[in-house]
């Protein structure tokens, strides 16, 4: 899933470490979300959206990504 997390994080002047501390995850988790290696749970996406006072849809773009989603990977979709 594509996202604008890095854009919003930088706009607010936060490092990956600082954002992770605010929402209770590691810097590595933030990096993985930003680089589309990890799709956050709905609850994590909600927590992130609240930090930036935006809707989930403003940050996470529900359009086709280069990477397969976890559901596609588990079903073996090519």
pLDDT for res 63 = 72
Our CA dihedral for 16, 18, 21, 25, rounded to 10 degrees, sits at 0
Taking the CA atoms of 42, 44, 50 and 54 in sequence, report the sign of the dihedral they define.
Answer: negative
Domain ranges, residue 42: 2-73
Residue 47 lies in a domain: yes
- Tens of pLDDT, residues 22-77: 999 999 999 999 999 999 999 999 999 999 999 999 999 987 656 655 666 667 76
| 17 domain residue, yes or no | yes
Count of positions (residues) in the chain: 78
CATH number at residue 43: 1.10.260.40
3-state secondary structure of 61: strand
- Number of domains making up the chain: 1
Residue 18: inside a domain: yes
Asked whether residue 46 is domain-assigned, the answer is: yes
The pLDDT of residue 52: 98
pLDDT band at 1 (very low <50, low <70, confident <90, very high): confident
Reduced DSSP (H G I as helix, E B as strand, rest coil) percent helix, strand, coil of the chain, to 5? 55, 5, 40
pLDDT of residue 69: 57
Considering only residues 1 and 69, tell me which one the structure prediction assigns the higher pLDDT: 1
Any domain includes 78: no
pLDDT for 77: 60
């Amino acid at each position: 899933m594509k996202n604008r997390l890095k854009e919003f994080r930088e706009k607010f002047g936060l490092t990956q470490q600082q954002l992770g501390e605010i929402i209770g995850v590691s810097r590595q988790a933030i990096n993985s979300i930003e680089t589309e290696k990890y799709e956050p749970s709905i609850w994590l996406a909600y927590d992130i959206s609240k930090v930036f006072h935006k809707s989930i849809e403003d940050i996470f773009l529900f359009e086709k990504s280069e990477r397969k989603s976890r559901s596609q990977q588990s079903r073996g979709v090519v």
